[in-house]
Structure 1
Amino acid sequence: MGSKPWLEPAVTPPVAAEDPPRTKPQRVRPYIYVYDVKPDFSTDILQYRIERAHCNYRQFQHGNLTSWIGYNAYALESMLHETFLASEHRTFDPEEADYFYVPIMWACLFDVYGWNPLPRWPKEVHGPRPYGAAMMQLETVRWLNATFPWFARRGGRDHIWLTATDEGACCVFKDVWPGIFLSHWGRTEFPHTSGSQYHADNYGTGIYHRDHDGEWLDQTSRTHACFDPKKDLVVPAFKRTEHFRSSPYVGASPVERSIFLFFRGDLRLAPGQDPECKYSRCIRQTLYNRSRAENWREKYNVLLGDQATVQGDYSLLLSQSLFCLVAPGGVG
């Protein structure tokens, strides 16, 4: 990497689209096969978007230019798909694959449900967004089993799913749950109920339909936790590149990490924002109040607060921190 040797571990040139590749670097284990899924579950959903910026992290402009979308919480879906397609771990031979990535547009469907009457899963039901996404995922599994042998071989345990919405995999069907879930929501307790204050995202509404056995909650959230650390991974929500411009991993010069713990975001302290801590679970509020009461800033150089109490360049503060708090609830 020339004058920036710290980038070497973080940068991987794309492997040539040959199987096996005839150019370096060679592929490395584990091998991941990326399904070309049925358009109903992927590209069709992108076409039903009302807003061009929804579900994307970048757009292509005239003159072969790329413009970066400022913020889209669900953009990780398209970005991760592209990353797997160019990864040194990718294989074009499913028979040698260690894992299978299923690139359905789970999160993008949430956006579409809020704007467009189509598509629906099931077709005649406009239920909560988690129900629609879970039904689409279940239909994807049925399509996989009808089309390919690989899901059934291990009961889906080697299949990777991204559920990049607020409460992640809490509501997936039990037939899908053995798989590996990438989620923002590392909630492990069981039983559990939805913590969303937005009615369209509450997965606790009971629904009966002929496309699943009995009440859907008995086939989904009542059968498993939201997250299993033995098989699943917590992944960060997508943020605009402005957040990371001072990071040494995108080319900035490294700086001393003198801040022990850092968080700056919405504390949900205004009246009526989250009075029962239903979604935030009072984690950020409790830590903020304790840090002020016990002088954590002066004692340990811990910075916890909102924009009024923790000022400065956000990206630079991140790059100067040993640890960064990712707390549920709020919008930051």
Structure 2
Amino acid sequence: MGRDLLDLFSMNKWRCSWSLAATIASVLALVSVVHLVSFPLIPTLNNFKIAQDSCIPANVSAEFPSNRDQEQPAVDFKLQFPADLHGAVVYQGAPWKAEIGHWLAGCDSVIKEVNITEIIGGNNCKNDCSGQGVCNRELGQCRCFHGYSGDGCTEQLQLECNYEGSPDQPFGRWVVSICPTNCDKTRAMCFCGEGTKYPNRPLAETCGFQFIPPSEPDGPKLVNWTQIDQDVFTTNGSKRGWCNVDPADAYSGKAKIKEECDCKYDGLWGRLCEVPVESVCINQCSRHGHCRGGFCQCENARFHPMSVNKVNIVYFQCDNGWYGVDCSMPSVISSITEWPSWLRPARIDIVDDARANGKMINLNAVVAKKRPLIYVYDLPPEFNSLLLEGRHFKLECVNRIYDDKNVTLWTDQLYGAQMALYESLLASPHRTLNGEEADFFFVPVLDSCIITRADDAPHLSMQEHMGLRSSLTLEYYKKAYTHIVEQYPYWNHSSGRDHIWFFSWDEGACYAPKEIWNSMMLVHWGNTNSKHNHSTTAYWADNWDKISSNRRGIHPCFDPDKDLVLPAWKVPDANVLTSKLWARSHEERKTLFYFNGNLGPAYTNGRPEDSRWCRYSMGIRQKLAEEFGSSPNKDGVLGKQHAKDVIVTPERSENYHLALASSVFCGVFPGDGWSGRMEDSILQGCIPVVIQDGIFLPYENMLNYDSFAVRLSEEEIPNLIKILRGFNETEIKFKLENVKKIWQRFVYRDSVLLEAERQKYAFGHVDDWAIEFLKLTEDDVSATLMQILHYKLHNDPWRKQVRHNKQFGLPHQCLVSTS
């Protein structure tokens, strides 16, 4: 799904009379004035009705698409699109399971646009959220900034950095947010504070506390969490200071810096946090707001929000007329010329009477769109923006940060897929603001942020959750469910079966609350629990076995009939793309089988295990190493069947990607839950060898894995190499060719190009990674998901029980038949 790098809208591309344009502008101006001054009597707009075909692009038909589904003679898709010898039907280059491929080839390929009435919000919020929040103009509810709450965001919260103290622990028990001095109680973050030269310089974690000298030479230094280190406030350059150290003096060597102090918080750069940089927000506020640490706002000051200068800064909301987590949703007072591409071109319908109990009413905009249509809930910020804004470590739960030049730095957070997909859906042509027209509903809860931030401040305590991050995360999803049920009508239309939730963490939706299990789960961990029917992580805080069935219910982690495994996030690397390792031939792949990763406690630096919990990797990697280990373990022993062309090692390769691309088969095994080995294999053109019983991998319930992968049972591990040597040249080349055809479906190109567009807008040019991603033309993760949702829209059994009045832009043969 390519993105325009320049705004394509201009008035001279529209076939409108200038008088009509002036009329529209007058109406909008009038509406804006009325809204801003809250005038009690809103004039009628009868004289400003817009003709149905009065304003459309000049380069398309003068008529919007017909909303009549097509009547065409029935076609036998099985005959027209026959399956190959592996049982696959190829569509858009990918080998699909036959039934799915038949429908996609016959129906998704002929989808037409239909007219969709988009609802442009016009509801006001109490006191316009008092300048401390963003008004959701669909509901007329405030989305308050960090540290504020209430209907009009007038209640200031006190988010403490420290737990209650005692004589033995004056700053309370340890927590990530622990602070010896100035706590910003709107966010539970620690700063140097008033009285210092740089009051807004972070004083995070160990920075402000004394250290206990090591008890023996080269021993570790321990932190004394009960004693403030007064030296961090020193003005004496010979002592290791922080809060009063001038950056110029530090860089010239005139002043010393305490080495434990650094810039952990987002939005700052430099050894002394002296460079304000772009923070990470969802879609960077879509050019309609300012990003403050993770929350989109409108800045009314000349300085950056975390400026090291002493300045009072007043924040308002998304730019006037815009709202939503990324400021991408226009209201009735926003400029039509600035509407996002997924709302253009539009025909504006203005109702006869704009009186609505003294409030501005919604506007209707008719837009031609292709289904499936997805409604993205604008949840309260506790489920997204506040989790981003309060991060104590800038790399947590995001897929990018920005350097001192505001250049994008991609992170290797595997969980970054959650943010990538969220941003893509918000900017997708498949997005709709009309819930009654939506085919699916996306509920954006950022579990990767919840997990990484669990217990990092008192207001995120796990004390009531037995110390389990899994339990805290369940609670968040339950609260999101309660919110959408109470505030919106859509859940009850299908008992939530058309809703979509993303669980990105190690064990996916294993701990989804029972109330939402009817919905579709997007995960990286497709454990059906057919064999591994308990928590499989060796990390106790994520274990879900102890969560009560009263909360979790009794459900598997993954249901292949309704859920979907998505690929994990991988860093957009220009060098990897230009090297085209995925295209290497069979002859260039000299290693038969390759696996490089943690092999458990038998090896140096191996993942430790606790007998009270599950074995790491469910013992699969350990069994592999016992048979085929090519590196000696702690006892100096190699695998029983080690071979020259088989590499199974915990020792990281100097060039991991090249090692994968030099191999015919690559191992795909679990770690603590899912791992990113499937993506590594596919992206380097290696045939994946999957060993994890009853656990689905990306798209496995949709694509025909036999066309490009090998799946073996855990019991077959001793025979692994014998089985692989049994594949003939024809079979190997067939699978390698199919890997080449599907690798882009494991890439979040759409999200990457959104960032490229932002960089182009900011700097007038793009980096190498953007140039390489712009060359990619095949379907990516977003396109694949839309194809799957389109199939599910007309083939999920429960849809047959629901009558509808929607138009789908498809031949009748493709439509689900209702009973």
Q: Establish whether TM, by shorter chain, passes 0.5.
A: yes
1:135 and 2:475 aligned: yes
1:74–1:110: structure 2 CA closer, same or farther, 3 Å change rule? same
Cα-to-partner distance string for 1:112-169 (whole Å, 9 max, x where unaligned): 1142222358x96574111111111011011001111112211111111111111111
Identity among equivalent positions (%) equals 31
> 1:61: Cα distance to partner?
4.0
Q: Which has the higher contact order (CA 8 A, sep 6+)?
A: 1
- The correspondence for 1:326, drawn from 668, 673, 682, is 668
The residue matched to 2:492 in structure 1 has which SS? helix
1:149 and 2:512 aligned: no
- The correspondence for 1:51, drawn from 369, 383, 393, is 393
Q: Determine if contact 1:260/1:322 at 8 Å carries over to the other structure.
A: yes
Letter in 2 for 1:111: T
**Aligned residue in 1 for 2:585:** 256
1:261–1:34: structure 2 CA closer, same or farther, 3 Å change rule? farther
Deviates further, 260-269 or 141-150: 260-269
1:74 and 2:411 aligned: no
- The correspondence for 1:21, drawn from 340, 344, 347, is 344
The residue matched to 2:557 in structure 1 has which SS? coil
Map 1:58-97 onto structure 2 (within 5 A). Answer: 58-69=400-411, 71-97=412-438
Map 1:95-244 onto structure 2 (within 5 A). Answer: 95-119=436-460, 127-189=467-529, 192-206=533-547, 216-220=548-552, 222-242=553-573
The residue matched to 1:135 in structure 2 has which SS? helix
TM-score by length of 1: 0.77
Q: What is the rounded CA distance, in whole Å, between the counterparts of 2:559 and 2:385 in structure 1?
A: 29
> 1:305: Cα distance to partner?
3.0
Which is greater in Rg?
2
**Aligned residue in 1 for 2:649:** 305
> 1:240: Cα distance to partner?
3.4
Cα-to-partner distance string for 1:79-99 (whole Å, 9 max, x where unaligned): 221122233433333222222
Q: Determine if contact 2:341/2:429 at 8 Å carries over to the other structure.
A: no
Q: What is the rounded CA distance, in whole Å, between the counterparts of 2:596 and 2:577 in structure 1?
A: 17
Question: What runs of 5+ residues in structure 2 fail to find an aligned partner?
Answer: 9-339, 347-367, 629-638, 677-819
- The correspondence for 1:38, drawn from 371, 377, 380, is 380
**Aligned residue in 2 for 1:315:** 657
1:245–1:100: structure 2 CA closer, same or farther, 3 Å change rule? farther
Q: What is the rounded CA distance, in whole Å, between the counterparts of 1:303 and 1:22 in structure 2?
A: 56
> 1:253: Cα distance to partner?
8.0
> 1:22: Cα distance to partner?
3.1
The residue matched to 2:500 in structure 1 has which SS? strand
The residue matched to 1:281 in structure 2 has which SS? helix
Deviates further, 322-331 or 124-133: 322-331
Cα-to-partner distance string for 1:219-240 (whole Å, 9 max, x where unaligned): 31x5100111122122333343
Q: What is the rounded CA distance, in whole Å, between the counterparts of 1:262 and 1:31 in structure 2?
A: 42
- The correspondence for 1:266, drawn from 578, 591, 598, is 598
The residue matched to 1:96 in structure 2 has which SS? coil
The residue matched to 1:166 in structure 2 has which SS? coil
Q: What is the rounded CA distance, in whole Å, between the counterparts of 2:644 and 2:485 in structure 1?
A: 55
Letter in 2 for 1:168: G
The alignment covers a number of residue pairs equal to 301
Q: What is the rounded CA distance, in whole Å, between the counterparts of 2:345 and 2:581 in structure 1?
A: 33
TM-score by length of 2: 0.33
1:131–1:144: structure 2 CA closer, same or farther, 3 Å change rule? same
1:148–1:18: structure 2 CA closer, same or farther, 3 Å change rule? farther
Q: What is the rounded CA distance, in whole Å, between the counterparts of 2:441 and 2:555 in structure 1?
A: 22
Deviates further, 39-48 or 278-287: 278-287
1:279–1:13: structure 2 CA closer, same or farther, 3 Å change rule? same
**Aligned residue in 2 for 1:4:** none
Q: Determine if contact 1:120/1:126 at 8 Å carries over to the other structure.
A: no
1:201–1:287: structure 2 CA closer, same or farther, 3 Å change rule? same
Cα-to-partner distance string for 1:234-285 (whole Å, 9 max, x where unaligned): 233334345x84247x977833253665432111133772376623112222
Question: What runs of 5+ residues in structure 1 fail to find an aligned partner?
Answer: 1-10, 207-215
Q: Determine if contact 2:455/2:461 at 8 Å carries over to the other structure.
A: no
- The correspondence for 1:286, drawn from 616, 623, 643, is 623
The residue matched to 1:175 in structure 2 has which SS? helix
